[in-house]
Structure 1
Amino acid sequence: MRLRLTALFLMLLMPAARAAPAPRQVDIPLSAGVLHAQLYKPEGEGPFPTVIALHGCGGLGGHSDPVLPRYRDWALQLLKAGNAVLLPDSYGSRELGPQCRVKELHVKARRERVADVAAARGWLMKQAWVARNRVSLIGWANGASTLLWAVRPQNAARDAVPDFRAAIAFYPDCRISAGLGWSTRVPTLVLIGANDDVSSPPACRQMVEGAQGRSALARIVVYPDAYHDFDRANTPLHAAAGSTDAATPERGHLGTDTQARADSQKQVAEWLAR
């Protein structure tokens, strides 16, 4: 009994575990409507390096959570490293649900979502706490495909403020970009699993290799044995076709690869610190 009471007393003396910081919603004007975004910001006045994080086809949040765990985990990791993180909600802002299995997309990566990136960047450039020369991009799947369009030289902003510092694309669909002779004006890192049968590792390799010599730095890391969503925590490998979840692709396989996940975290930190 005395041991039990002593243990209880020690627990009461210990500081309570700090809850994960909650994001703050910000509203960003668009040419038509408003782009809702979730912001994680370090304490203090800054200026802080800032990352615009682009969700995949499943959307940014769920029914009761403005940011799904897979994006929240990354946001908190980036926040811990001293970055502010802005997550635009391209689908929720337009009152749309997941778009993974929608045949006729009304919000396209190369059009509406690129416009969202430009609006998010424009909003950040007006914030005193932002290190304007250290704003970067990161995206997953459809968000990564958006990123590939956003960093093309043709989509450079016409203002005089600094361009994006860096860009990181997790398993984008590179097939269209590879066929168009993609290049980037921003140092861009592509991370993809060798077994990704949702996106196309060969197309991504072709895209990056084809940009050499006529582009800003572009690099690709292909993880052996890894599949789509390899960086998503606690996701057993499974076939998407057997799922009724509208927030997953119609085909291919999804699942965590612990080694690729750990290395990708290291790669992201190093690429952003360039």
Structure 2
Amino acid sequence: MRLQSRAPGHEAAIEARLFLPPGPGPHPALVFLHGCGGLFTREGTVNARETDWAARFNAEGVAVLMPDSFGARGTRSMCAPADFDLGLYRARPWDAYAALAFLAARPDIRADRIGLVGWSQGGGAVLLTIREDDEARPAGLARDFRAAVAFYPGSCRPGGLRRPLATRTPLLVLVGEEDAWTPAGPCRTIVEAAAAAGSPVAIHTYPGAVHDFDWPGLPRRARPDFRTGAGIVPVTGMDPAAREDALRRVPEFLLPRLRE
């Protein structure tokens, strides 16, 4: 299926994959925002991280929609600094709201019970999307995202969001304490400042965990091909303890808000 994203300068009919739970509904739903490597493997299948989470939420009666922000715009990956497109990254909140509108129009979806989840650059897009002052937010929005989760989000550092985080959407941020790509310390500063200012946000960090800690079966390894502009070599890989906690913590955070 296709969603019409109206991001200025990056308008596109983007592909999306919908995973529905059994039964006629109406179901609560989640929008998933993929990371810098895109939604699909080189073989054209959806990444294991996203399909694993989708299956778990489908088992709880929650539909999942995954928009592909890259394919229709001729991009495969934005993980290396040379491949990063700031304009496309800033366009992703429009993709999220296009997904929200698509789901809300379906009779098998509860239009007032739609949440948002993102990983890495997609996690950064979550932080942008739920801000009260984001330019992608539709005027007169009747039903906003019910809650949001951002895994190891990009832009979660001083200056990365351009303006302080301020939102009315309940948000949970999860970061590994050994994540060199999206460090926990600066992200904690951002989230705690937002919480102190009254936003319903919280952060949980995992000792010893690195980037992609929830990706099932992902071997831990350095990624010199994605060396940052500051010369940092990211390390990615599953962390069993962090993954086990996230598999419990995220549904405990989201499901009551999607069902109440």
Partner residue in 1 for 2:37:
58
Q: Percent identity?
A: 34
Partner residue in 2 for 1:193:
176
* Structure 1 position 68 matched with structure 2 position 51: no
Partner residue in 1 for 2:254:
272
Residue 127 of structure 1 is aligned with which of 95, 106, 115?
Answer: 106
How far residue 179 of structure 1 moved from its aligned partner, in angstroms, is: 6.5
- What is the CA–CA distance in structure 1 between the aligned matches of 2:141 and 2:3, rounded to whole Å? 20
Q: Please give the per-residue CA displacement for 1:66-85, whole angstroms capped at 9, x wherever unaligned.
A: 31112111111111111100
Equivalent position amino acid for 2:240 in 1: T
How far residue 50 of structure 1 moved from its aligned partner, in angstroms, is: 0.4
Structure 1: unaligned runs, 5 residues or longer:
1-25
* Residues 38 and 54 (structure 1), Cα distance of their counterparts in 2 relative to 1, 3 Å cut: same
TM-score w.r.t. the length of structure 1 is: 0.83
Partner residue in 2 for 1:14:
none
* Structure 1 position 217 matched with structure 2 position 200: yes
Look at both structures and tell me which one has the larger radius of gyration over its CA atoms. Answer: 1
How far residue 34 of structure 1 moved from its aligned partner, in angstroms, is: 0.3
Query: What does 1:227-266 align with in structure 2 at a 5 Å threshold?
Result: 227-241=210-224, 251-266=233-248
**Backbone CA RMSD of aligned residues:** 2.1
Query: What does 1:17-56 align with in structure 2 at a 5 Å threshold?
Result: 26-31=1-6, 32-56=11-35
- What is the CA–CA distance in structure 1 between the aligned matches of 2:151 and 2:5, rounded to whole Å? 26
Q: Is the 8 A contact 2:128 2:161 kept in 1?
A: no
- What is the CA–CA distance in structure 2 between the aligned matches of 1:75 and 1:64, rounded to whole Å? 19
Partner residue in 1 for 2:153:
172
Q: Is the 8 A contact 2:37 2:79 kept in 1?
A: yes
Q: Please give the per-residue CA displacement for 1:224-269, whole angstroms capped at 9, x wherever unaligned.
A: 111111101112221111x59xxxx982211111010010011110
- What is the CA–CA distance in structure 2 between the aligned matches of 1:46 and 1:157, rounded to whole Å? 26
Aligned residue pairs, count? 245
Equivalent position amino acid for 1:97 in 2: R
Equivalent position amino acid for 1:233 in 2: P
Query: Tell me, what secondary structure is at the counterpart of 2:82?
Result: coil
TM-score w.r.t. the length of structure 2 is: 0.87
Q: Please give the per-residue CA displacement for 1:46-92, whole angstroms capped at 9, x wherever unaligned.
A: 11110000100000012333311121111111111111000000001
- What is the CA–CA distance in structure 2 between the aligned matches of 1:149 and 1:109, rounded to whole Å? 13
